[in-house]
Amino acid sequence: MKGCVLDVAVDIRKGSPTYGKHVAVELSEDNHRQFFVPRGFAHGFAVLSEIAVFQYKCDNFYAPQADGGICIKDESLGIDWRIPMDKALLSEKDIKHPCLEDFDSPFDYHVIYTLNLNKMNILVTGARAVGKRDTYHHPGSDDHYVFTDVNQVEGVETVFLDITDLEAVRVLVAERRIDVIVNCAAYTNVDAAESNEALAERLNAEAPENLAKAMKAVNGLLVQISTDYVFGKEPYNVPCQEDQQGTPTGVYGMTKLRGEQKIMTVGCKHVIIRTAWLYSEFGKNFCKTMMHLTATRPQLKVVFDQAGTPTYAYDLAKAIAAVLRDYATDIACAIYGKSGIYHYSNEGVCSWFDFTKMIAEYNGTTACDIRPCHSDEFPSPVKRPSYLVLDKTKIKETFGVRVPYWTESLKRCITNLKNNC
Q: Which residues of 388-412 are buried (b: 16+ CB within 10 A; e: fewer)?
A: bbbebebbbebbebebbebbebbeb
Question: What is the domain range of residue 172?
Answer: 121-280+310-347+390-406
Domain-located, residue 271:
yes
Nearest alpha-carbon partner for 180 in 212, 137, 157: 212
Domain-located, residue 113:
no
Tell me how far apart the alpha carbons of residues 287 and 301 are, in angstroms, rounded to a whole number. Answer: 15
Is the pLDDT at 50 greater than 60, yes or no?
Answer: yes
pLDDT per residue as tens digits for the range 161-181: 999 999 999 999 999 999 999
Is the pLDDT at 354 greater than 70, yes or no?
Answer: yes
CA dihedral 333, 338, 341, 343 (to 10 degrees): -130
Q: What's the confidence (pLDDT) of residue 63?
A: 58
Distance of CA 371 to the CA centre of its chain: 42
Nearest alpha-carbon partner for 249 in 342, 125, 163, 375: 375
By percentage, how much of the chain surpasses pLDDT 70? 90
Q: What's the confidence (pLDDT) of residue 392?
A: 98
Do 151 and 249 belong together in one domain?
A: yes
Domain-located, residue 13:
yes
CB 306 within 8 A of CB 375: yes
Nearest alpha-carbon partner for 253 in 286, 228, 289: 228
Tell me how far apart the alpha carbons of residues 193 and 33 are, in angstroms, rounded to a whole number. Answer: 64
Domain-located, residue 385:
no
Q: What's the confidence (pLDDT) of residue 156?
A: 60
Q: What's the confidence (pLDDT) of residue 134?
A: 43
Domain-located, residue 414:
no
Domains identified in the chain, total number: 2
- Fill in the DSSP letter of residue 339: -
> Is pTM, for the whole model, over 0.75?
no
Domain-located, residue 417:
no
Residue 36's pLDDT band (boundaries 50, 70, 90)? very high
- Over residues 347-364, mean pLDDT: 98
What's 27's domain CATH number?
Answer: 2.60.120.10
Tell me how far apart the alpha carbons of residues 212 and 18 are, in angstroms, rounded to a whole number. Answer: 29
Strand partners, 240: 390
- Over residues 96-125, mean pLDDT: 78
Domain-located, residue 289:
no
Contacts of 393 (CB under 8 A, 6+ apart): 241
Do 256 and 401 belong together in one domain?
A: yes
The answer to whether 252 is a known catalytic residue is yes
Q: CA angle, corner 343, sides to 163 and 275, nearest 5?
A: 55
Residue 90's pLDDT band (boundaries 50, 70, 90)? confident
Do 55 and 84 belong together in one domain?
A: yes
Do 163 and 92 belong together in one domain?
A: no
Do 79 and 154 belong together in one domain?
A: no
Do 203 and 75 belong together in one domain?
A: no
Category of 230 on φ-ψ map: left (φ > 0), alpha (ψ -120 to 50) or beta? alpha
Do 54 and 137 belong together in one domain?
A: no
Q: How confident is the prediction for the chain on average, in pLDDT?
A: 89
Count the alpha carbons within 13 Å of 137 in the hemisphere toward its beta carbon. Answer: 12
Residue 96's pLDDT band (boundaries 50, 70, 90)? confident
Residue 155's pLDDT band (boundaries 50, 70, 90)? low
Do 78 and 169 belong together in one domain?
A: no
- Fill in the DSSP letter of residue 65: G
Domain-located, residue 302:
no
pLDDT per residue as tens digits for the range 256-296: 999 999 999 999 999 999 999 999 998 889 999 999 999 99
Do 190 and 235 belong together in one domain?
A: yes
- Catalytically annotated residue among 252, 279, 342, 362: 252
What's 155's domain CATH number?
Answer: 3.40.50.720
Do 394 and 249 belong together in one domain?
A: yes
Do 127 and 244 belong together in one domain?
A: yes
Tell me how far apart the alpha carbons of residues 413 and 212 are, in angstroms, rounded to a whole number. Answer: 32
